[in-house]
Amino acid sequence: MFGVGPEWAHTVSGGKSTNSVAGEAALDFMFWPWSKRRFGWYLEPSYGYNFGSGHEQSMSVAVGLLITIGAVHSK
């Protein structure tokens, strides 16, 4: 999956805090390695750009566990 959206950034530096508007783009990759698909994992790389002063940029990667909720029917 691919996502793009607005972001509110609250930055604290040197005892001062600032608020600004930013944007973020992310990709979501989901992996279900077992046939019953009860557990899987995801990988989400993202990029952010702050439109405030300094125009800070960031990149991140999130990794996590996926757990199926509800019944899973397999043939």
Task: Determine the pLDDT at residue 52.
Answer: 86
Which residue in 68, 75, 72 sits closest to 39, CA to CA? 68
Q: Can you spell out the DSSP letters for 23-55?
A: EEEEE-EEE--STT-SEEEEEEEEEEEE-STT-
The token pair that represents 73 in the structure block: 């029917």
Provide the residue-wise pLDDT of the chain in tens; the chain has 75 residues: 899 999 998 888 899 998 999 999 999 999 999 888 889 999 999 999 999 888 889 999 999 999 998 866 665
Task: Determine the pLDDT at residue 71.
Answer: 67
Angle CA 37–34–36, to nearest 5: 40
The token pair that represents 65 in the structure block: 């566990």
